[in-house]
A and B are shown apart, each in its own frame.
Chain A
Amino acid sequence: MNSYNFIFIALLAGVLAGLILAGVNYFVVEPYIDQAIGIEVDNSIAAGEPVNYEELNTYRIWQKDGTFAAGAFLGLSYGAILGIAYVISRKYIPSYDDRKKALILAAVMCLTLYVIPFIKYPANPPAVGDPETIGLRDTLYTSYQLTSGLITVGLSVLLIKMRSINNLKYLIPIIYLGLIAFIYAVFPSNPDSITAPMDLVNAFRTATFSTMVMFYLVMGGIFGLLWHRFKPHEPTRVEAR
């Protein structure tokens, strides 16, 4: 295994997918964020709070420009996770083609770390969320992501260890759905009420859901292409006397 190539592939795939996500979001998601921030400003004015437009504009420029760097950081993170998961699970993923294997794993990762948490804690635009509850909401979201991840990893290990048992592959999805339903019921709901117009919230959720699913699939696609090209898994040949 060529570790340098392996790290390079994982991080490059993540960064490229993150930059593509940021580029798409700039046109698809930013208009909703602008609208939501407009509502926040209106609410502040209605509440008699002072609004510093100069500071607000500075922040908005910083936030919009930062989207690309932040997209790259997001890609670094999920690219690294995809790389770790791929190098450990590669031999167990169906298909002989690394491009297909990477796409399958990225889709599973998307389901586990994004779609399942999204169903319980859907994304919200600015104007939704009480700053006082941010610690609790962070804890809930992270715990949900980790629990979803543990369920997927646990059942994958179970499937691999007990693959000789007939019909287990049909049973695993049922157990998976049962466990996901269980954590959905057990975890507390988002404590904040939605105070922004639901049309805006739903449009924001639809747009971000689409671009995030695209992000995972693009990342898997690039990762698979790079892996197929550089083949870091091929054994290192060491000469010894």
Chain B
Amino acid sequence: MSSQHGLRLIQKDQTPKLAIVVLAIVAILSIYIVGYDQGQLFSLAQGNDAYQSMWLHEFTHDIRHAAGFPCH
């Protein structure tokens, strides 16, 4: 901290907790989409048909296999 011309300069260097929370949410949502969805996410809008078509699952299919996640 220093004082100059009546101003104090404060150095602020804290762990960015909010940013960590944002990144954690992004990580969980993204990993769910890529690694785990079997129709559940689209079923919120599409109903039971989503479990048959599994569009999101098929969309991530090849990367899911390549990244080592169990697929089907």
Contacts from A to B (Cβ < 8 Å)? 1, 3, 6-7, 10-11, 21-22, 25, 29-30, 33, 59, 62-64, 66-67, 69-71, 73-74, 76-78, 80-81, 83-84, 87-88, 114, 117-118, 121-126, 129, 131, 134, 137-138, 141-142, 204, 208, 211-212, 233, 235-241
Contact = CB atoms under 8 A, between A and B. Distances in A.
Contacts of A237: 9-12
12 contacts: A6-B16, A73-B34, A73-B60, A77-B30, A88-B15, A124-B65, A124-B71, A137-B70, A138-B36, A141-B70, A212-B66, A241-B8
Q: How large is the interface on B (under 10, 10 to 19, 20 to 34, 35 or more residues)?
A: 35 or more
Given A124-B65, A129-B71, A1 B13 contact: yes
Interface in B1-42: 6-16, 18-20, 22-24, 26-28, 30-31, 33-36, 38
Contact of B72 (A25, A122, A134): A134
Nearest to A122: B68
B13 A236 contact: yes
A238 B12 contact: yes
Interface in B48-66: 55, 58-66
